[in-house]
A = this chain, B = another copy of it.
């Protein structure tokens, strides 16, 4: 169990899908004790959702830096923006402050932590960096759906839903397929799953863990023409099951 945040150390803290109950004890400890909190927020977001989730644990004296990043897929533009905050965090650490970066979900799974870590100056060595894992959105989805994602020899594949032909291929390479960002092409995805007779074995959660906005579909049957309730969605498809082969372990 983590003690208080250490002077001159950096923490990237996964805060889970949005429900404060899914914060870990270590996450709370770091957020309560860090000198500075860094909360990234995309330029299209009105406020930092991550900050809302942990606000109750941030002491009044703590400095909070909201870092606004652009929604571009140009690696150079993105890197230049993240380099600024990485440099600033490096300076704060050099001054002997402890810094906690908060991120929804898990810092190592589709998170902004990567960009921040990438841009750190050389003085921020690995022994001064701590990663606090967090509950990822798909875990909240399978919990809500009461869906066993894997058992015995099952394989589980996680990927963004952006390309339907990639999704179709992936159905062959796993027993459970988890699709992130599945809100945008939701109807076409439902159509594909009906074609494979998998719509009844699939579920979707929109705005998982976010109070007042969460919508759960326990099956995707008959949804190919229904307007989805938003764009932030995780879809979980049970494509099959791989049993143990031998009778004795």
Q: Which residues of A contact B (CB under 8 A)?
A: 1-2, 16, 19-26, 28-29, 71-75, 106-111, 113-114, 117, 126, 129, 131-136, 139-140, 142-144, 146-160, 162, 170, 173-174, 243-249
Q: Are B159 and A155 in contact (CB under 8 A)?
A: yes
Q: Which 5 A-B pairs have the closest CB atoms?
A: A1-B21, A131-B143, A21-B26, A133-B139, A73-B244
Could you show 9 A-B contacts with beta carbons less than 8 Å apart? A24-B25, A74-B247, A111-B151, A113-B148, A117-B146, A131-B146, A133-B143, A134-B139, A157-B173
Measured between C-beta atoms, what is the minimum distance from A196 to chain B in Å? Answer: 18
Bound-state Cα–Cα, A147 to B143, Å: 25
| Interfacial chain B residues near A153, Cβ < 8 Å | 159-160, 162
Q: Are B126 and A146 in contact (CB under 8 A)?
A: yes
Bound-state Cα–Cα, A133 to B246, Å: 30
Given known A-B contacts A1-B19, A73-B246, A133 and B126 have beta carbons under 8 A apart? no
Q: Are A108 and B143 in contact (CB under 8 A)?
A: yes
Q: Are A157 and B155 in contact (CB under 8 A)?
A: yes
